[in-house]
Amino acid sequence: MYKKETKESVDNAERRDFFKKVGLGGVKAVAGAAALFTGSNEAEAAVSWARWFQKNFRLMTEEEKDKAISYLEKKYSEKFEKQMDVDKSPAMEDVLFGYALNIQTCIGCRRCVKACAEENNQSRHDPEIEWIRVLQMEKGNFSIENKGEAVSGNTLNVGEYAHKNAGVTLEGEHYYEPEKVPEKDFFYFPVQCMQCENPPCVKVCPIQATWREPDGIVVIDYDWCFGCRMCMSACPYGARHFNWGKPNLPKENVNPDTHYLGNRPRTNGVMEKCTFCIQRVREGRYPACLEACPVGARKFGNLLDPESEIRKILENKRVFRSKVELNTYPKFFYYID
């Protein structure tokens, strides 16, 4: 009885010790992780408590928006060592933005992709985020050399071209980098957020961090999104991008004119995507990708204005949209001359 008790008490003591160590280690781990998470960077260390309770931008009052914006301007200006402006301009009346891209003219030079990165403060590496992706599409390879084994016999598909793909590879090439573009046997197809009127990404977000603004732009509140990436899977155009790590934006490359819902610098773990350069278009200016295009393949305007270039294109050119069968009603049109 006595021996058993001693052994038991020793066991108990060892157990207590064990749990104490595990508990302490655990507490340290959680505290350390929390500390690192909230305050690992010099400027970000000054997180005020109010920020934790900041509301979804769509539901904020004007005063709350102003407060959030002045905090952000201060934080960004400190971090990037220049005066940063964060705008909150609302949608203009009687405006519905539309975009058109001439795939007859596009030469696949990718200047739009890089201009977008410059304008919209995208992370340059780890991860490299680019809101526009240009696909190189094959025109079709119908060469006599491509014929295969002749299929013959008692079958319904005979001949040398049976079961072949009729000359075209269906998926586009993403990583082309030839000496010169356009290459002879290809045409180019840039893809970015289609700003759908029936956006699947908006529907699936569990916390309404993304929504469609009155002027047709689908926006994200970067301070509300918690990075579940439902929207990323729901988007049929691969238009939504995720900050896998802390964005690497050198301060020399920062664009200081930003909008809360647009190109202000993002943080780790949130989604981002093309906003039709909301910071520019709400001030009346063209998006950055359009201005970069050397051949004028990109056109933009107010779909509700019959005099706009976009309306003239819809009337006079042959226009189509991508993946219409999904009923997303995109506002990014493709056309040929």
Partner 1 sequence: MLFFRFTAIVFAVLFFINSSFLNQIYSAENTVDECFESRENTSLLYREKIESGKDNVKCSEKTGAVLWYGDPFWNTADMADGKINKKVKRVMRPRGDSLMYMPCSSCHDGVTVPFPDGNEPRELTFHQEVFQENLEMTHGRGRIWCLDCHTPANRETLIGNFGKKISFDKSYELCGRCHGSTYKDWEDGIHGKRIGMWNEQEKKRWWNCTECHDPHSVQVNAFAPLEPEAAPVKPEGLSEH
Partner 2 sequence: MKKADERKKGFIKDLTLYILKGGKGYYSLLIFLSLVIMLWFFGLYHQFSKGLIVTNLTDQVNWGLYLSNFTFLVGVAAGAVTIVFPSYVYHHKQLKEVAVVGEMLAIAAVVMCLLFVIVHLGRPDRLLHIIPGIGVFNFPASMLAWDVLVLNGYLILNLVCAFYYLYKKYKGEEVKKSFFMPIVYIAIVWALSIHTVTAFLYNTMPARAAWNHSILPIKFISTAFASGPAILIITFLIIRKKTKLKIGDEAIDMLSQIFVWCLGIGLFLMFSEIVTAFYHTTEHAYGLKYLISGLHGYSKLVPWYWVSTIFMTFSFIFLLFPSLRKNHKLLPIACVLSIIGIWIEKGLAFVLPGFFPTSLGEVVEYSPSLVEITISSGNWAVGLFLFVILVKGSIGILTKEVTA
Interacting residues with partner 2 (CB under 8 A):
15, 18, 22, 25-26, 29-30, 32-33, 36-38, 40, 56, 59, 126-127, 133, 135, 170-172, 174, 191, 200, 203-209, 224-230, 232-238, 241-246, 267-271, 326
x/- track of binding to partner 1 for residues 220-259 (CB under 8 A): -------------------------xx-x-xxxx------
Do residues 313 and 299 make contact, with C-beta atoms less than 8 angstroms apart? yes
- Cα separation, 139 vs 94, in Å, equals 40
Do residues 202 and 225 make contact, with C-beta atoms less than 8 angstroms apart? no
By CB under 8 A, which span of 33-41, 140-148, 157-165, 190-198 interacts with partner 1? Answer: 33-41
User: Which has the closest alpha carbon to 221: 167, 174, 273?
Assistant: 273
For 71, list phi and psi in degrees, rounded to 5: -65, -45
Cβ-based neighbours of 257, under 8 Å, separated by 6 or more: 85, 87, 279
Cβ-based neighbours of 210, under 8 Å, separated by 6 or more: 199, 201, 202, 218, 219, 220, 221, 225, 231, 271
Do residues 130 and 113 make contact, with C-beta atoms less than 8 angstroms apart? yes
Choose among partner 1, partner 2, none what residue 229 binds, the Cβ cut-off being 5 to 8 Å by kind: partner 2
**Distance (Å) of CA 127 to CA 12, 123, 239, 246:** 50, 6, 16, 8
Q: According to CB under 8 A, which one of 6, 38, 40, 233 is a site residue for partner 1?
A: 40
Residues 80-109, interacting with partner 1 (CB under 8 A): 107-109
Local structure of 219: helix, strand or coil: strand
How near is the Cβ of 92 to partner 2 at its closest, in Å? 26
Token representation of residue 192: 């970015």
Q: Binding to partner 1 by residue 133, rule CB under 8 A?
A: yes
- Residue whose CB is less far from partner 2, 224 or 334: 224
Choose among partner 1, partner 2, none what residue 183 binds, the Cβ cut-off being 5 to 8 Å by kind: partner 1
**C-beta neighbour count of 229 within 10 angstroms:** 13
How near is the Cβ of 235 to partner 1 at its closest, in Å? 17
- Residue whose CB is less far from partner 2, 182 or 269: 269
Q: By rule CB under 8 A, what count of residues binds partner 1?
A: 70
- Cα separation, 142 vs 161, in Å, equals 10
Q: According to CB under 8 A, which one of 71, 161, 176, 189 is a site residue for partner 1?
A: 176
How near is the Cβ of 83 to partner 1 at its closest, in Å? 9
How near is the Cβ of 220 to partner 1 at its closest, in Å? 21
Q: What DSSP character marks residue 245?
A: S
Q: Which residues pair with 299 in a beta bridge?
A: 100
- Residue 202's region, left for phi above 0, alpha for psi from -120 to 50, else beta, is alpha
How near is the Cβ of 34 to partner 1 at its closest, in Å? 11
Q: What DSSP character marks residue 223?
A: T
Choose among partner 2, partner 1, none what residue 88 binds, the Cβ cut-off being 5 to 8 Å by kind: none
Residues of the shown chain interacting with partner 1 in the complex, contacts defined by CB under 8 A: 17-18, 21-22, 24-25, 28-29, 32, 36, 40-41, 107-111, 113-115, 118-119, 124-126, 128, 130, 133, 174-183, 245-246, 248, 250-253, 281, 284-286, 288, 290-296, 299-302, 305, 307-309, 312-313, 316-317, 337
